[in-house]
Amino acid sequence: MITELLNILSWKSKSPTVVFLVDDFGAVKANKEIVENNYFGHARIDLKNRFNIFDTLSSVKDFTKLFEVLEKNTSKLGSTPVFTLVTSMANPDFERIIQSGEYQFLEFWDSIKNYGGENLVKCWKEGIEKGYISPELHGREHLNFKRFMKIINESPDLKEIFFQHNCLPELSFTNPSHDYLSAFDFDEPSDIEEQKKVVKSSIEIFEKSFHRKPELFVAPALKYNKALNKTLVENEVRAVDKARKSIEPLGNGKYGKSFNYTGKKIYKNQLSVLSRNVMFEPSMTTKSNWVNFAYFKIEECFRSNVPAIISSHRVNYVGGVSEVNRENGLWALDELLTKINETYSEVSYLSASELIQKMHAK
């Protein structure tokens, strides 16, 4: 019933439209060494979490194979699927943090070069130029640096793992204030002013890196306080990604809730909402057939004349830890796109930026 109501309220598209929002690009998380060194015996490193088991920064090979699948599935009308890469614009500078004892970060292209060299930088730029990928803003780091610094100061064993392997694994926690990867969650209301500076910094790095302003802001874990909306609007961001049932941090362990839909206007009608309505996560084992599950939801969107905004994550398409993981993810993606194209020859694949521009067209 809620889904039907939100579809009625959502912005309508004149033809079947598909947008992929794929989170976590650019962000350091776990890596192969976490698995090889069997750190899953550590009490706080979540051994069941797929991000710890499979996730890494994308390599040239990962991108090349992804681009092949996208190109292969160009529709009959010539529309090629595009991945909107929800991208973090910095990572902790582990070396400088150790040297200074204070939080320091490494900007986007420097992080990419450190991981994959100039060839990986070239791969990113070619993918953007050819229209296979389109970056949008995931904030600066995919971590709450205040909580991160607290963890490394209070937990020498975790600090050793983080800094020895330059990684940020998912941790098990019962207290939300221990969630150090939700960048815009917070504990004290006074943290909001620092977060405004982080948002502004992330937009500046995005513009320097990609030579344009971001159209869309996607908070890690889709959690942020509405006080940041003013900063987003002042820096020309036109839309935010919000869960259909979203959680807003209020500080002191409290959270507000709201329902959202694509096309909803917030902050004095100056920001539009994008709200994902299809889930596609083939590296998760909770569904036996992600292709059929996602396709059913896509058909539901098309029947209501709303864009299918597909939620996915980098972890589904990378093979740095397990090539089988990447091949499974790309196989499922290929199957899903083939199924869409066979049934909906008039389908349009849009980046988030293109969808936002359509939504704002007079």
The continuous run of DSSP H or E covering 313 comes out as strand 308-313
Rg over alpha carbons for the chain, rounded to the nearest Å, is: 20
| pLDDT at residue 32 in the model | 76
Domain extent at residue 215: 2-360
User: Phi first, then psi: what are they for 226, rounded to 5°?
Assistant: -65, -15
DSSP 171: B
DSSP 102: S
| pLDDT at residue 43 in the model | 55
Helix runs in 189-273, H state only = 191-210, 229-234
| pLDDT at residue 39 in the model | 62
Is the separation of the CB atoms in 8 and 298 below 8 Å? no
CA distance 38 to 161: 11
Q: Nearest 5 degrees, angle CA 150-CA 153-CA 157?
A: 115
Name the nearest CA neighbour of 141 among 81, 93, 99. Answer: 93
CA distance 314 to 27: 10
Q: What is the CATH number of the domain that holds 11?
A: 3.20.20.370
CA distance 74 to 104: 42
CA distance 201 to 207: 10
CA distance 183 to 144: 4
Answering whether pTM is above 0.85, one says: yes
Q: How far is it between the farthest Cα atoms of the chain?
A: 58
Total domains in the chain come to 1
**pLDDT per position in the chain (362 positions), as tens?**
688 889 889 999 999 999 999 999 999 988 777 767 666 556 578 777 899 999 999 999 999 999 999 999 999 999 999 999 999 999 999 999 999 999 999 999 999 999 999 999 999 999 999 999 999 999 999 999 999 999 999 989 889 889 988 999 988 877 777 799 999 999 998 999 999 999 999 999 999 999 999 999 999 999 999 999 999 999 999 999 999 999 999 988 899 999 999 999 999 999 999 999 999 999 998 677 999 999 999 999 999 999 999 999 999 999 999 999 999 999 999 999 999 999 999 999 999 999 999 999 86
What type of residue is 246? S
